[in-house]
């Protein structure tokens, strides 16, 4: 059974002005034991919108790799935004 760890909810409007909702949900399944050996838990990243759902199951190693990449890209984008603000301030 999956445990919901967190959700990021995003509301947006389409060209017709209709409101829509997207949800990015992070779930986890606890580690298990199989034939006397411990097995990794699973991290599930689920994308939900008004029409469909899509989920991907990741091992802890894959999830760490993804989170490291997301952190790196996010930091880079924030730094570029700061540089833009600084260039506007200095003008």
The tens-digit pLDDT sequence of the chain (91 residues) is: 899 999 999 999 999 999 999 999 999 999 999 999 999 999 999 999 988 999 999 999 999 999 999 999 999 999 999 999 998 877 6
pLDDT recorded at residue 89? 79
Report the 3 state secondary structure along the chain.
CCEEEEEEEEEEECCCCCEEEEEEEEEEECCEEECCEEECCEEEEEEECCCCEEEEEECHHHHHHHHHHHHHHHHHHHHHHHHHHHHHHCC
The reported pLDDT for the residue numbered 35 is: 94
pTM greater than 0.75 (yes/no)? yes
pLDDT at position 75: 98
């Amino acid at each position: 059974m999956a445990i919901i760890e967190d959700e990021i909810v995003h509301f947006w409007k389409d060209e017709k002005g209709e409101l829509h909702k997207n949800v990015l949900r992070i779930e986890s399944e606890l580690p298990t034991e199989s034939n006397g050996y411990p097995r990794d838990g699973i991290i599930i990243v689920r994308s939900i919108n008004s029409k469909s759902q899509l989920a991907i199951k990741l091992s802890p190693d894959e999830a760490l790799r993804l989170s490291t990449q997301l952190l790196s890209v996010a930091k880079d984008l924030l730094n570029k935004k700061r540089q833009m603000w600084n260039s506007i301030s200095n003008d």
